[in-house]
Amino acid sequence: MEPMTYVLFGATGDLAKRKIYPALYNLFVDGKLPPSFSIIGLGRRELSNDTFQSQVEQSLRQFSRRSANAVSSSDLNAFLSAFRYHPLDVNNTEDYRKLLQLVKSREDELNMKSNRLFYLSVAPEFFDVIALQIKESGLGDTEGWKRLIIEKPFGHDLSSARSLNAKLSEAFEENEIYRIDHYLGKSMVQNLETLVLANPVIQAVWNKDHIANVQITASETVGVEERAGYYDNAGAIRDMVQNHMLQVLMMTALHLPSQITPSNIKDEKRKIIQSLQPINKPEAALSVVRGQYASGSVNGKDVPGYLEEPGIEATSKNDTFVAARLWIEDPKWEGVPFYIRTGKRMSGKSTRIVVEFKNPTKELYLSRNEITSPNLLVIEINPNERVSFQFNGKNFASNGNLEPVQLSFNAEQDKLPEAYERLIFDALRGDATFFAHWNEVELSWQWVQPILEAFEENLVPLHSYEAGSNGPEASDQLLEEDGFEWWLDP
């Protein structure tokens, strides 16, 4: 791997401490950082290099999956000595010039070619300002590569996403922009590609002839937490559906490419999102369910309703739950509903994909008054990482009655790299497979836009659901209309 400078905007923020420093540290310990590298942290405050380095060390001790004590102190010191701090006001051109001098002097000191990665761990309203300043200050003029990493949200709706992208494109080429969607860093989401594409038996049944429906759930037990300002303007539709849920849907529905390459996967994902049947604003209520949590009990603890949460207006109509029925208009998936569902303050934390297969043998045992259960393939993404297959068997402890049996492959392995480790490593070596590309982001916004407007204009009823439940009943009805039900815990 080539030497590089990692320029981190927002170096004193929460994400840097919890995720980015531990990820870099684990990459270093695993020998996955280049032999020469320089890390420059930026923030508004004045900080000495020593103080900054000890803050980084503290965050490793607190948040790294691998304790800082598990590494020799000389390795730890070598890692920390790569860090420098530079105070920067994102709007001040002069600060960027000084930053360029620091970046260059470190490159000279370490005798490194200039490859620069700019990581914007800051509020999204600063993305365009920073990108343009990088260009104008000369920070973006490198002998080698330059890359930009940003985190969602990429825009607030279709038009703001387009205008943000247009500004970013003035400073960076599309292939230099790495948009993190941390769901794409999760091991089971990355594994989907192999599970579905590299197994001929699964490929043979991965289509409308055998699949009855697909259910993608991301339920959470947490509420709005300390993010009222952001969340009340975003809602589940922007926070989870436009990005994570649609990305997981694309990864699930991919067609088999001739070869697995980053660009083939990107093309196949684009084809899926492009084939999503639009949900028109006037009919949104037929396919989309919107909910907001009321008070209730989660994991045995009483919790307030959304409207009682600090920082939330008592009249807020924000969605904390969304379920929807989607159709992919291509011959492979014709007639197969894809259901998505995400919500805060639900009964359990679970991110999973359930693929329900058609069941032509349902009535095979009717003479014995028994029916068979459909085969299910369950891919658990979080907090468990497991794949299980449900089939029918006989239970001889109860007179040989039919019983659904699960065969499961537990993918959980201790001390696996975290999502951020995998994603930062990929960005450093220039592999964009598991990042959100602009056309996917734009097409996702395009699909979501009429729903945003329908919510705004109150064309979709806002159902209340009790905290600790599985969401509003309307979301069960959505599946009942098609003769299905949510598989909660098969």
Binder among 107, 176, 220, 232 for ligand BG6 (CB under 6 A): 220
Decide whether 239 or 442 has the Cβ nearer to ligand BG6: 239
- State the Cα–Cα distance between residues 341 and 343, nearest whole angstrom: 7
Question: Shortest gap between Cβ of 112 and ligand BG6 (angstroms)?
Answer: 34
131, 149, 150: which is closest to 140 by C-alpha?
Answer: 131
336, 347, 294, 286: which is closest to 316 by C-alpha?
Answer: 294
Instruction: Answer yes or no: 255 catalytic.
Output: no
The residue whose two tokens read 């659901």 is 465
Binding of ligand BG6 by 151 (CB under 6 A): no
Q: Which stretch of DSSP H or E encloses residue 401?
A: strand 401-410
Binding of ligand BG6 by 160 (CB under 6 A): no
Q: Is 281 annotated as a binding residue?
A: no
Decide whether 29 or 346 has the Cβ nearer to ligand BG6: 346
Binding of ligand BG6 by 351 (CB under 6 A): yes
Question: Shortest gap between Cβ of 187 and ligand BG6 (angstroms)?
Answer: 12
Binding of ligand BG6 by 382 (CB under 6 A): yes
Of 86, 156, 210, 244, which one is the catalytic site residue?
Answer: 244
Question: Shortest gap between Cβ of 351 and ligand BG6 (angstroms)?
Answer: 5
Binding of ligand BG6 by 247 (CB under 6 A): no
349, 341, 344: which is closest to 292 by C-alpha?
Answer: 344
Binding of ligand BG6 by 232 (CB under 6 A): no
Decide whether 420 or 487 has the Cβ nearer to ligand BG6: 420
The residue whose two tokens read 């009943």 is 473
Q: Are strands 301-303 and 288-298 parallel, antiparallel or unpaired?
A: antiparallel
- State the Cα–Cα distance between residues 432 and 272, nearest whole angstrom: 18
143, 118, 93, 343: which is closest to 235 by C-alpha?
Answer: 343
Handedness of CA 450, 451, 452, 456 (dihedral sign): positive
**Backbone dihedral angles phi then psi of residue 230, each to the nearest 5 degrees:** -75, -50
- State the Cα–Cα distance between residues 151 and 332, nearest whole angstrom: 33
Q: Is 16 annotated as a binding residue?
A: yes
Residues that bind ligand BG6 (CB under 6 A): 218, 220, 239, 351, 382
Residues carrying an active site annotation = 244
Residue positions forming the annotated binding site for NADP(+): 10-17, 44, 89-90, 152
Q: Which residues are annotated as a binding site for substrate?
A: 182, 186, 220, 239, 344, 349
Annotated binding-site residues read: 10-17, 44, 89-90, 152, 182, 186, 220, 239, 344, 349
